[in-house]
Structure 1
Amino acid sequence: MDSERMVRVSFDREQIKALKLHATRGRPYWDRISVALAFRLLDTSDPYFSYFAVLDELDYMEGIRPASSTKAEEQFRRKPLHPLWHKHFFLPKHVSRNVDVRWNLLDGGNKDLTKMLGEVTENFGEDPEVWTNYLTHRLVVQGFEERARRGLTGDWIIFGKHDGKNFYLDLAVHEEGDEHGAAALLQRIRAGSQAEFPFFFE
């Protein structure tokens, strides 16, 4: 966006509270999300994004929801993002990524893929119609189900822990957290959260 067209906006405390309560649909942790995250949850410009997917994971981390279908939260191991944490949230657009992870498709496959292809060939290799249908089902549907049992991957909720509580700072995609994007991601998180939660950036 053209910086000359940007407008500075300020909110008083009651407006910020109302914004966060609306973004979290009145959840009890509303005061521990950043304004930046509140705006992301309320942004409707991406038709593939669902704030419910994020709220489900926040509810799980807060003990409101009993289970999560995604991988367990992890602390970043390396600077500059350490000591912050991330928790995956899942959207339908992440199905193909999870199928890829299950079979390691982008890196030439894994032993499970080799075994599965051998079984399909052995059992259905003489019947092309059955072979293609079964392979598709086994690769995509069952592959996704197997990955789900281990914990789905997706995009990230970035958060920190302070005084025994989680503080939810922003959302990010995997690529932002790699060695080339981590510094820029931290800068974005700091810009959106430092004023409210300075103890993560001292």
Structure 2
Amino acid sequence: MANQTIPPDAGKMSFTHEQLIQLKSEVLLDAPYASRVSFGLFLRLVMTGDTIPVLRQIDALEGRKPRSTVKEPSPFKHPPLAPFWHAHYFTSRHTLRNIGERWNIARGPGNDDLGAALNAVAEQHGHDPDVWPGALAHRVFIEGMNERTNANRLTGDWIIFAKHDGQNYYLDLARHEEAQGPIRSAALMQKLRASSAAEFPFLFPD
């Protein structure tokens, strides 16, 4: 698949700058920051169907809506991704990840909260086989998600953006794993250049 080439007789499309802004504005629901969303991110939204949750988070970053229930945005700490920023956005497919984070399931030892929750359900309902499975599911899944939400700790995928002259420029979407280690971080930086540098060259000075 990676070696496929574009047929020489394939049709091509081109847009003027004004047409591109208009297209982005229409798909991004007339958001006033549409011109600061890269065409690469715009295409990513079209392909993933994540437009609404991503715009909800960008609206919060722009101060157009109250702060969302995801984690606070933060800057990357190390080159090549520094000084770019990342903000989480949440969709239903991120639910299991958040439950795992709440109960520290994927991080080895230290699941004291999960152990306490299981023991509490066992003490209260362990004698009733018709009740305890539902009670356990409610405690781990429903209450676990509510606790993450109320603490504004929901995690998901990333919106990567840059700050320039008092405004945010939204570059692309990424998964956490794309920034793990120097090799992946370098590949992610190339992805950001490909999606954004043509429109926002001032964000990529070198």
Q: Which residue pairs with 1:102 in the alignment?
A: 102
TM-score normalised according to structure 2 size: 0.90
CA deviations 1:127-176 (Å, max 9, x no partner) are 22211111111011111111112221000100000001100000111111
Question: CA-to-partner distance for each residue in 1:107-141, whole Å, 9 max, x for gaps?
Answer: 24521111111111221222222111111110111
CA displacement, residues 26-48 of structure 1 (integer Å, 9 cap, x when unaligned):
111111111111112222xx4xx
Residue equivalent to 1:51: 51
Match of 1:88 in 2: 88
Q: How far apart are residue 23 of structure 1 and its match?
A: 2.6
Aligned residue in 1 for 2:163: 161
Could you say which residue in structure 2 is the equivalent of 1:39?
Answer: 43
How do 1:5-16 and structure 2 match up within 5 A? 5=6, 9-16=13-20
Distance 1:26 1:160 in 2: 21
Counterpart in 1 of 2:204?
201
Q: CA deviation at 1:98?
A: 0.3
Q: What is the aligned residue count?
A: 198
Question: Normalising to structure 1: TM-score of the pair?
Answer: 0.91
2: CA distance between counterparts of 1:171 and 1:50? 10
Residue ranges of structure 1 left out of the alignment (5+ in a row): none
Residue 183 (1) aligns with residue 197 (2): no
Which runs of 4 or more aligned residues in structure 1 lie more than 4 Å from their structure 2 counterparts after TM superposition? 6-9
Shift of the alpha carbon at 1:193?
A: 0.7
Structure 2: 5+ residue stretches without partners? none
Aligned to 2:128: 127
